[in-house]
Amino acid sequence: MSTARPTSPGPGDEREMSRVRILTAAAEIAAEHGYEGTTISKVTKRSGLPASSVYWFFRDKDHLLAEVVRHSFEQWIAAEPRWERDPRDGRSLAEGLRSILSRSTRGLPGAPDFLRIGHMLLLESREVEAEARQYFLATRDAVASSIAAWFTSHFGTGLRARRPELAMDLARIVIASTDGLFLAHQIDEAGDPDDFITIIVAIVEQAVADAG
Amino acid sequence: MSTARPTSPGPGDEREMSRVRILTAAAEIAAEHGYEGTTISKVTKRSGLPASSVYWFFRDKDHLLAEVVRHSFEQWIAAEPRWERDPRDGRSLAEGLRSILSRSTRGLPGAPDFLRIGHMLLLESREVEAEARQYFLATRDAVASSIAAWFTSHFGTGLRARRPELAMDLARIVIASTDGLFLAHQIDEAGDPDDFITIIVAIVEQAVADAG
DNA sequence: CACAGACTGGAGCGATCACTACAGGGACGC
DNA sequence: GCGTCCCTGTAGTGATCGCTCCAGTCTGTG
C-alpha cells in the first residue's frame, strides 16, 4: 500500500510501477473473489489508482485478468524450482524427485495467487474469459512437459523405448497430486507436505518398477 | 426443512417444484460462474420464475447459495457409493478399495455441481458466505470420517493399535486424489480414471505394508 | 520556458446489481 | 358466494457495475 511516493522519481519505470500495482492488486482480488467477483472498483481501491489509469494500461476487464494470469505466472516460475537435472538433487530418481518436490511444496504456501486464480478459471466455465483460461492451460501443459522430460532423463533407454508414455503419465500424476495438496492447503494450514512427497515418490517408484 | 409440508399431494408438490426449480437453476449457474457470478437475474431467466418468487422462498442471495450447497449435496450422496463394507466388494482391502473407487469415479463426470461449487467456495475466501462454505467443509469432514472408518474396518487389531492415525491419513489421501482427478477432469474429458484407481490402491497397499 | 506525451483525478454514462412493494390469481374451507 | 393463504407478475428502489470523457498535472526534451 504505502509505497513509492512520486517524490523520488525513478527512471522511466514509473510507468511500470503503476502497471504492476494494478496487476498485483487485481491478482489478490481475483484470488479471493474469483473472476466475476473482481471489480474495477475493488482494484482501484486496493491499488490506489483511479479507474482511468486501469483503462489506460488495460483495454478492458478481460484483458486485465488475462494479464493478471500472465503476470502472476511469471512471479510463480521465478520462485518455482526448475524441472531440470541438478547435481545437488541426488543420484537416484527417487532422491532427485524428493529433492525437487520438497523445494516445490515448500514454496506452495507462500506462492502467489497463480494457482488459486488458475483453478478458479478451470472451475468457472465461461467463454468470455477464453484468453486468461487458455493461457493458464498452456502454462500447465508446459509444466507437464518439463516434468515429463525430467522423468525421461532419468529413465534407461530400455524403459524409454518400452513405455514412451510413462513419463507424461507420471507428470500428470505429480500435477494432479499437487492440485489436491494445494486445495487441501486452502482449508487448513495443516497437512504435512513431506507425507505427500513420500507418497508421490512411492507412486513413481512403484510405477517405474512395474514398467521396468 | 422449514415449513410444515401440506400433507395433500397436490399443491404441496407444486410449491416444492418451484423451490427445486430455483435451486437447480442456481446450482448450475453457481457451478459455471462462481459465487459472485451467480446473479438473481440469471436465476430468474434459467428457472423461469420471477425474482419475487426467489425472494419468497429464500431470504437473500447468501441464504439461497447456502441452500444450493445443501441441496446439491443431498443429490450427490444419493448417487455416491456408501463407504460401508459390502459383500460384493471383494475379500481383500485392495479389491474392496478398487471396487468402491470404481463406482465413485464412474459417477464423477455426471455428478451434480456439488464438487464444483464446493471447490469454488474453498478457493473464494470470503467471510460473507460463511454459511455455505461451512456446510461444505462439514460435509467433507463427514465423508473423510466414513472413509477412515472403512479403512479401519479392514485393518487388523495390531495395525489398528500401532497406527491409529493411519486410517484418517489414507482417507485424506483418497480425498485429495479425488480432488486432483476431478480438477483434471474439468480440463478435458480424457484421463483414464482406472489408472488413477490403480495408483490410489498402490499407495494404500504400500502405506499399509510399510505400517504393518 | 514552451511544448508534447504520459499518466491521474473526477464526474458521469447506460446497464445491471440485490432487493422490495404491491396488486393480483388460483386453490382451498366455509 | 366470500375470505384466506400461497405464490406470481410487474414495476421500481438506490447502489454498483464496466467503461468513457476530458481537463489537469506531471515528466522528459529542446
What is the tens place of the pLDDT at every residue in A193-205? 777 788 778 777 8
Substitution target in A124, A192, A198, A210 with the highest count of B β-carbons within 10 Å is A124
- Here the cell at position A7 is 517524490
pLDDT band at residue B49 under the 50/70/90 scheme: very high
Closest by Cβ to B187, choosing from A36, A122, A173: A122
Assigned domain for B119 exists:
yes
Assigned domain for B198 exists:
yes
Nearest alpha-carbon partner for A22 in A49, A62, A59: A49
Measuring CA to CA, how many Å separate B33 from each of A48, A63, A205, A211, B27? 28, 18, 40, 42, 10
Question: How many structural domains compose chain B?
Answer: 1
The pLDDT value recorded for residue A104 is: 78
pLDDT band at residue A124 under the 50/70/90 scheme: confident
Query: Does B41 have pLDDT greater than 90?
Result: yes
Our measurement of CA B8 to C1' D6, in angstroms, reads: 15
Residues 6 or more apart from B6 whose CB is under 8 A from it?
B12, B15
* Domain that includes residue A160, residue range: 81-211
Report chain A residues whose CB lies below 8 A from the CB of B28. Answer: none
Assigned domain for A74 exists:
no
How far is Cα A38 from Cα A32, in angstroms, rounded to an integer? 9
Nearest CA distance, A197 vs chain B (angstrom): 12
How far is Cα B20 from Cα B47, in angstroms, rounded to an integer? 9
The pLDDT value recorded for residue A6 is: 38
Assigned domain for B179 exists:
yes
Of the two residues B38 and A89, the one the predictor is more confident about is B38
Assigned domain for A27 exists:
no
Nearest CA distance, A126 vs chain B (angstrom): 7
Half-sphere exposure of A185 (CA within 13 A, CB side): 19
Phi (first) and psi of residue A194, to 5 degrees: -60, -35
Nearest alpha-carbon partner for A175 in B123, B179, B114, B118: B179
The pLDDT value recorded for residue B1 is: 38
Nearest alpha-carbon partner for B123 in A185, A19, A96: A185
Report chain A residues whose CB lies below 8 A from the CB of B191. Answer: 172
Residue written as cell 469454488?
A: B120
Our measurement of CA A24 to C1' D23, in angstroms, reads: 29
Q: Which nucleotide lies closest to B14 by the C1' atom and the CA atom?
A: D7
Report chain A residues whose CB lies below 8 A from the CB of B173. Answer: 199
pLDDT, tens digit (0-9, with 9 covering 90-100), for B160-202 = 898 888 888 888 888 888 898 889 888 875 567 777 788 778 7
Determine the residue of chain B that is closest to A182 in CA distance.
B176
Q: Are the beta carbons of B65 and B129 closer than 8 angstroms?
A: yes
Determine the residue of chain A that is closest to B30 in CA distance.
A124
Mean pLDDT for chain A?
82
pLDDT, tens digit (0-9, with 9 covering 90-100), for B111-127 = 668 899 999 988 886 66
Query: Does B6 have pLDDT greater than 90?
Result: no
Share of chain B above pLDDT 90, in %: 30
The total of other beta-carbon atoms located within 10 Å of residue A88's CB is: 6
Substitution target in A123, A166, A192 with the highest count of B β-carbons within 10 Å is A123
Yes or no, beta carbons of A180 and B184 under 8 Å apart: no
Assigned domain for B140 exists:
yes
Our measurement of CA B60 to C1' C26, in angstroms, reads: 26
Yes or no, beta carbons of B199 and A203 under 8 Å apart: yes
Nearest alpha-carbon partner for A74 in A36, A24, A32: A24
Assigned domain for B167 exists:
yes
DSSP state at residue B88: G
Q: Are the beta carbons of A84 and A57 closer than 8 angstroms?
A: no
pLDDT, tens digit (0-9, with 9 covering 90-100), for A35-91 = 999 999 999 999 999 999 999 999 999 999 999 989 998 888 777 767 777 777 767
Query: Does A167 have pLDDT greater than 70?
Result: yes
Q: Are the beta carbons of A140 and A175 closer than 8 angstroms?
A: yes
Phi (first) and psi of residue B93, to 5 degrees: -60, -45
pLDDT, tens digit (0-9, with 9 covering 90-100), for B60-98 = 999 999 999 999 988 888 777 778 777 777 678 888 888
Assigned domain for B98 exists:
yes
